[in-house]
Amino acid sequence: MTIIESQKPTFKKVESEWFNYYQTLQEVQMLEEAILHPFDEDPDDPTIVKGLNSVRQPGDPTQRSATRLTTHKQLNYLREVTSAIETVYNESSDEYKRLIHLRYWQRGKKLTWESIALKMNISERQARRWRNEIVQSTIEILGWR
């Protein structure tokens, strides 16, 4: 397989997906709930009332929900991204996983490359190289360029 060099905007986009991984998981869950329960009452939103918004449709409601879940473009996109991130993470070594946690999933203050390298006992250049490999692997799984 020929490795195609990724474009800078793609690299930045994929890296931002790593930073936002947990928010994306929450968004997937919210979209799934909205698709599965589209006419539920929301006590905080007086415009949504079950009796006024629910329309009975003939057919199988379970099949309609399943179809909506599988054909929703945004949901499919978010699932594809989170799946790629999970694949790269699960196939990574313990050092790479530690880098991922320090760089992308650390709560609070974002660490500099220098502080990440110090915590991992490696050079700053090595930490950046590992980051490049992580992002490039994600790009390849997603099939982006």
Q: Mind listing the pLDDT tens digit for each residue in 76-122?
A: 999 999 999 999 999 999 999 999 999 999 988 889 999 999 999 99
* Domain encompassing residue 81: 8-142
Q: What is the pLDDT of residue 70?
A: 62
Distance CA(144)–CA(19), nearest Å, equals 18
In this predicted structure, the answer to whether residue 55 has a pLDDT above a threshold of 70 is no
> Does residue 3 sit within a domain?
no
Give the pTM.
0.76
Is residue 124 in a domain? yes
Average pLDDT for the chain: 83
Domain count, the chain: 1
In a domain, 38, yes or no: yes
Does residue 51 carry a pLDDT above 50? no
In a domain, 18, yes or no: yes
Q: Are 138 and 6 in contact (CB under 8 A)?
A: no
Helix 73-90 and helix 8-19, axial crossing angle in degrees, nearest 10? 80
